[in-house]
Chains A and B, each alone.
Chain A
Amino acid sequence: MNGSLPTRVRFNRIRFESIGGLGADSAAHALAATTVEKKGLDAAHLPSGGLERKGSRVRSEVLLASSDRPIRDGASGGAPDAIVVFHAALLRDPRTFAGLRKDGTFIYNAPAKSIPEELAALPRTARVLRIDAAGIAAKEKCAMNAVLLGALCGALPYVDAEAVLEGFCADEPGRNGFRRGMKEPETLADVGEADGDLSLSLGSRPGTGSAGGILSDPGTTVWNDVSAARTGFIPAFNRERCIHCGLCDLFCPDSCLVWEKGEEGGRFERELSGVDYRYCKGCLRCVESCPASAMLKKAETPAFVEQRSVPMFPEIVE
């Protein structure tokens, strides 16, 4: 069986932007595998490289092509026709948009009404779709990747959504999530402001590194923002309940708890003043270890993080 695609040149490229643990790689694989196995088309799946870990950036690409035009360029990072963003925190990173074609499709996962200002970087002519995949997944008790894959398949006329659904979702909740993903995305108008295709490169490097590859400044990861590793929950600190025992500090893998000298003449020589959410990955081991219920698991909202984050290095970072 041979098939064909309305492809611009040789293939269509779809990029999945996600963080480890949300199932972007497996959704991408399902799309590509179904295309090859069920539709007789050619496809490639370019999975995210590097270390296996949760919370890290995942970029998974799928190339779809007609079976008479074999896919030969296996280099990842080409200009995409569609981008699917699994986690709203990734919208803060310009790499998420890189290379989107002016007539491309951009799908992101966020609750209704959320249009982050960063989306202005998109081409004005691109199609922008928002889907509350997290909300739908919670309701349907399915994995979020089913909803987002549904949204993608619904948006691309040349993809056989039923075939992908068949290949990807074995259980009823997954099917329901996928179908809602197909139906429910909202098309947003007047979001992007850029003209033409977006650039693939993110500016040239200012120069070469030091000879020998020595990183000569200690502790430079403090400039990183690792908050995108969180998957919806944060520890909320209640200072009134805290006994400042220091247990949580032993179990925080990310050194993001901020301590200060206790009040002069007060009960405590050292006091916990809060969490620097820039560095918190939401593992909640502080909640697990707290003997005084001063750390509680809370659904994350941008406003809470904004108001309650305590900067750890106010004089150095930002």
Chain B
Amino acid sequence: MNKPPGTMARLAQSPARQRIEFRSGDEAASLAARAVGFEAAGLYPAPPSNQVALCYGAALGGVRVLGATNSRGLVAALEQLAVQSAARVPMVLNVAARALAAMPGSGCDHSALYQALDAGWIVLCARDPQAVYDLNLAAVRIGEHAEVRLPVLVAYDGHVTSDEKRRISVLDEPEALERFLGTRAQAPTPLDVAHPATYGAPMDEDDFLDNKAQLSQAMDAARRVIPEVFAELGALTGRTYPVLEAYAMDDAETAVVLLNSAAETAKEAADVWRDDARKVGVLSPNVLRPFPAEEFRALLRHVNAVTVGDRADSYGAGGGSLSMQVRAALQQDVDNSTIVLARIYGLGGAPFHATDAEQFLDEAFAAATAGEAREPFAYHGATHGEAAPKAPKGLPPIRTGEVTRGMAKVNDATGRLEVELAPLWKMTSVPSRIAPGHAACPGCGAFTSLHQLYKVLEGDLVVLFQTGCAIVVSSSHGATAHRVNCIHNAAGNGAATLSGLVEAYQQRVRRGELPPSGDVTFVLVTGDGGMEADLADVIGAAHRTPRMMILEYDNQGRMSTGGQATHSTTLGARHGNTAQLLAACNLPYVFTASEGFAEDLMRKAAKAQWYARNEGMAYGKILSFCPLNWKTADDAAQPALQAAIDSCFFPLYEVEHGHTAITYDPDAMGRRKPVAEWLKLMGKTAPLLDLVNEAIVEEIQAETERRWARLKAMHEHPLL
């Protein structure tokens, strides 16, 4: 049943039939995946920490697996990467390389990729969409080779390669590809119930060391196998991939070494210099693990000076990873006297043009002429020196008195917390803690929600914004809309970070370093996507119940990245409910609200703040309008929000010390509507109203009614 791969020698001399497509790197990867016929794919939405684990499970099941992620997913999975290489389970993981940062943007950067270099995976580098396609095919064969059996990472540049579209050739002859790939060699699998085995058992030290030595041997085997597979790939496609690509290197005296798209740019610079009869060349590895040290030694033997550019720094090491490896490789050649310059460039997607590559060549040329590297390590294109003179001044800080109304009070007679809202017109004198001039979409409901919340939240606030639309549009490009202390941290870390800050605050108040407790309220602002990414921390925080509040603008999806689903998005009848989840964590106060019901929202926000100051964590889930991804007009917010609530898809209630109280009952108001009335108002869900989808809508309706009936029962019974 297993057809052995590696039968290309018997194939026809000319490449297989192909067709032209116009594709981005991401699309090229998916075309390759489709061509290979991957049987499972881990394409989890934004919080990607588990997608590699998902792939691992599927690969253990004995199928061909493709994963795709970016820097955040890769780094979040670092431990998983090491487990998987040690377990010797092949799969292919595509990585659009971006920066390591709280909000990396989509620009290219290799800092996350470099973190993964020591994880025991084969690392292939794809310089353009064509290479993404081709190397994905090769990756299957390399990883599955009997002597290798390692997972393979295909790395390409964020944005420049992942998003930009190019002309590519793709195979149009499935049989030829099938012959190239063969079938996946069977390995032990937990799906083989006739042969029970234990996978991933803890190892003692000796076994662990041996296991890693085996992995190292597999890398050595890959060093032999990769050129063989690339040769077969060449026969199949007509495109060649040496492990180290050399451009114009034959008689080169000066060279640059660059990874991926920047190397392509540098070829333009080399051509300009060659036209000028100067002997320059470009080196760029197609394979980074195993590292092509021997090839570097051979190709640099007669080069006087080389500039190695790294799109990531190994801070404090005097160069990025690639430059250090090139230096280490050359050090083993006693006859070599190439001068190596290390340069850091293009971090976070800063563009790299041919003129930048020319400067690299210039610097190498100068070093060769001088016979020494006057500046062995430098940042290319950075502005050094004193902090810039300050940009225009912002707004004055908001004084506590300007924003304090005392609207939430405990009624001495009943012992209940009550809120008396100031009249709306009066609240127009509360200075907004968000300045105008931010870059949210027209009509954005996240900012309407924030504006309403800030009208009632009293005193000094410290806010932490979870990664998502709201923080990006309010604090990018060196300007901030926030008028109170605002923190942003990497996705999935918000609740823990803010808990730590609350702890420090309370300590410093105890020590008398800060004024007495109660003045500062700590607020975690999140979208529903950010909430999902941070759920483990949120539940942990709920357990410790620090004095803080979590306010979630729920716009039913991950809107900053194209509207991917979250737990909040209705998928047929399924959608999660974090309000119920956190109510079950026994928080003193949990509420749902909507910016469409502003006064109800503000009343609950005032209560939540009282609880956050006096008892412990409070949580509010606030349905917020998103004209971009709901696909509605900017000024069609009210009907859509009203219908979501009148249909009981998003009921308004609060859970106070475990008692559920519905705060708006569409039945009692005679306003109850079927969910279809809501779905039809949004472009994204209107197609559900087609007759063919009737069953789906009925299912949503039935589940909505069940939940509403349950909520009513909870409202009526104090023990529910």
- Bound form: Cα–Cα A45–B388 in Å: 35
**CB atoms of A208 and B436 under 8 A apart:** no
**CB atoms of A55 and B441 under 8 A apart:** yes
Given A52-B561, A222-B437, 20 further pairs, Cβ under 8 A: A10-B268, A32-B165, A37-B22, A44-B164, A49-B163, A51-B560, A52-B628, A71-B166, A74-B128, A74-B164, A207-B386, A208-B386, A210-B387, A217-B391, A218-B482, A222-B395, A253-B442, A253-B444, A254-B447, A272-B428
Residues of A at under 8 Å CB distance from B? 10, 20, 29, 32-33, 36-37, 40, 42-47, 49-56, 67, 71-78, 204-211, 215-226, 229-230, 244-247, 249-256, 259, 268-270, 272, 276, 278-279, 281-285, 287-289, 297, 312-313, 316-317
A178–chain B nearest beta-carbon distance, Å:
20
Binds A, one of B50-58, B228-236, B471-479, B666-674: B471-479
- For A51, the chain B residues whose CB sits under 8 A away are 469, 472-473, 560-561
B613: CB under 8 A from chain A?
A: no
List B520-563 residues whose CB lies under 8 Å from chain A.
Answer: 559-563
- Bound form: Cα–Cα A317–B437 in Å: 12
- Bound form: Cα–Cα A45–B22 in Å: 9
B35: CB under 8 A from chain A?
A: no
**CB atoms of A217 and B439 under 8 A apart:** no
Residue of B nearest to A214 (CB): B480
B265–chain A nearest beta-carbon distance, Å:
5
List B619-658 residues whose CB lies under 8 Å from chain A.
Answer: 627-628, 634-638
**CB atoms of A42 and B167 under 8 A apart:** yes
Residue of B nearest to A62 (CB): B165
When A51-B473, A218-B484, A222-B394 are in contact, do A255 and B432 touch as well, CB less than 8 Å? Answer: yes
Contact of A215 among B268, B448, B479, B636 (CB under 8 A): B479
When A49-B349, A208-B386, A219-B481 are in contact, do A270 and B426 touch as well, CB less than 8 Å? Answer: yes
- Bound form: Cα–Cα A287–B638 in Å: 11
- For A288, the chain B residues whose CB sits under 8 A away are 635-638
A51–chain B nearest beta-carbon distance, Å:
5
- For A211, the chain B residues whose CB sits under 8 A away are 387
- For B351, the chain A residues whose CB sits under 8 A away are 75-77
**CB atoms of B383 and A208 under 8 A apart:** yes
B34: CB under 8 A from chain A?
A: no
When A75-B353, A219-B395, A259-B428 are in contact, do A254 and B163 touch as well, CB less than 8 Å? Answer: no
**CB atoms of A312 and B441 under 8 A apart:** no
- Bound form: Cα–Cα A20–B353 in Å: 26
When A53-B441, A75-B265, A75-B351 are in contact, do A222 and B435 touch as well, CB less than 8 Å? Answer: yes
- For A44, the chain B residues whose CB sits under 8 A away are 164-167
A244, A249, A285, A287: most-surrounded residue (chain B CB, <10 A): A285
Determine the interface band of chain B, counting residues with CB < 8 A from chain A: 35 or more
Can you list 14 A-B contacts with CB-CB less than 8 angstroms, sorted by A residue number?
Answer: A29-B165, A56-B441, A71-B166, A73-B264, A74-B264, A204-B383, A220-B392, A246-B423, A253-B446, A254-B442, A255-B434, A270-B425, A279-B437, A285-B637
When A245-B424, A253-B444, A283-B634 are in contact, do A215 and B164 touch as well, CB less than 8 Å? Answer: no
- Bound form: Cα–Cα A254–B441 in Å: 9
Contact of A250 among B20, B161, B598, B627 (CB under 8 A): B598
A207–chain B nearest beta-carbon distance, Å:
4
**CB atoms of A73 and B268 under 8 A apart:** yes
**CB atoms of B479 and A223 under 8 A apart:** yes
- For A256, the chain B residues whose CB sits under 8 A away are 436
**CB atoms of A52 and B389 under 8 A apart:** no
When A37-B22, A270-B429 are in contact, do A254 and B439 touch as well, CB less than 8 Å? Answer: no
**CB atoms of B163 and A47 under 8 A apart:** yes
**CB atoms of A255 and B451 under 8 A apart:** yes
